[in-house]
Structure 1
Amino acid sequence: MSPGQNLEYQLLDGKGKALGTWRYRVVNVGVDSVASKKGKTTSVASVQVKSGLYDTGNNVLAQQDLTFFCRNDTTFTDGLGIINYDALKSFKNRRLSYQATPIAWPNHPTAASALPNGGVLVQVSSPSVAIAKVETTQRARKVSGERVSVTVPAGTFSCYPVESQREVSTAARADLVLKNTGRQIDYYDPAVGIVKTEQYDSRGKLVQSRLLSKR
Structure 2
Amino acid sequence: MIRPALFRPFLLCTLACLPLASALAQTPATGQPTSAADAGGCIHPFGLEDNTEYVYQLLDGDGKVSGIIRNRVVSLGSETNKKQTITTNTVLLKSGIYDKKQRLVHSQDLTFRCRQDTSFTDGLSEVNFDNLNRFRDRRLAYAPVPLAWPNQPTVGSELPGGGVTVDVSSSVVEIAKVFTKVQNRRVVSDLSPVVTPAGTFPCYKIESEREMGTLARVDLILRSTSKVVDYYSPNVGIVKTEIYDKKGKIEQTRVLAERNLGGKVTPSTAKEKMKKNE
Q: TM-score range by the shorter chain?
A: over 0.9
1:25 aligns with 2:69: no
Please report the RMSD computed on the Cα atoms of aligned residues, expressed in angstroms.
1.1
* Residue of 38, 51, 54 corresponding to 2:95: 51
Alpha-carbon distance between aligned partners in 1 of 2:175 and 2:157, rounded to the nearest angstrom: 38
How does the TM-score come out when normalised to structure 2? 0.74
- Counterpart in the other structure of 2:133: 89
1:10 aligns with 2:54: no
Q: How far off its partner does 1:122 sit?
A: 0.6
SS of the counterpart of 1:80?
Answer: helix
SS of the counterpart of 1:203?
Answer: coil
Higher normalized contact order (CA 8 Å, seq sep 6+, divided by chain length) = 2
Q: How far off its partner does 1:31 sit?
A: 2.7
As a proportion of its length, which structure holds more strand?
1
- Counterpart in the other structure of 1:100: 144
Alpha-carbon distance between aligned partners in 1 of 2:106 and 2:98, rounded to the nearest angstrom: 7
SS of the counterpart of 1:63?
Answer: strand
Alpha-carbon distance between aligned partners in 1 of 2:218 and 2:191, rounded to the nearest angstrom: 42
Q: How far off its partner does 1:145 sit?
A: 1.4
- Counterpart in the other structure of 1:161: 205
- Counterpart in the other structure of 1:134: 178
Percent identical among aligned pairs is: 50
1:195 aligns with 2:239: yes
Runs of 4+ deviating beyond 4 Å:
none
Structure 1 residues 123, 157: CA separation in 2 closer, same or farther (over 3 Å shift)? same
The unaligned stretches of length 5 or more in structure 2 are 1-47, 260-278
Q: Describe the superposition over 1:134-192 as per-residue Cα deviations: whole angstroms up to 9, x where unpaired.
A: 10110001111122211111011110011100000111011100110010000000011
Q: How far off its partner does 1:34 sit?
A: 2.4
After TM superposition, the structure 1 = structure 2 runs for residues 143-158 of structure 1, keeping only pairs within 5 Å, are 143-158=187-202
1:41 aligns with 2:88: no
Alpha-carbon distance between aligned partners in 2 of 1:149 and 1:90, rounded to the nearest angstrom: 41
- Equivalent AA in structure 1 for residue 227 of structure 2: R
* Residue of 116, 119, 122 corresponding to 2:166: 122
- Equivalent AA in structure 1 for residue 208 of structure 2: S
- Equivalent AA in structure 1 for residue 78 of structure 2: V
Alpha-carbon distance between aligned partners in 1 of 2:90 and 2:137, rounded to the nearest angstrom: 32
Alpha-carbon distance between aligned partners in 2 of 1:209 and 1:9, rounded to the nearest angstrom: 10
Alpha-carbon distance between aligned partners in 2 of 1:5 and 1:49, rounded to the nearest angstrom: 9
- Counterpart in the other structure of 2:257: 213
Alpha-carbon distance between aligned partners in 2 of 1:52 and 1:87, rounded to the nearest angstrom: 18
As a proportion of its length, which structure holds more helix?
2
The unaligned stretches of length 5 or more in structure 1 are none
- Equivalent AA in structure 2 for residue 140 of structure 1: N
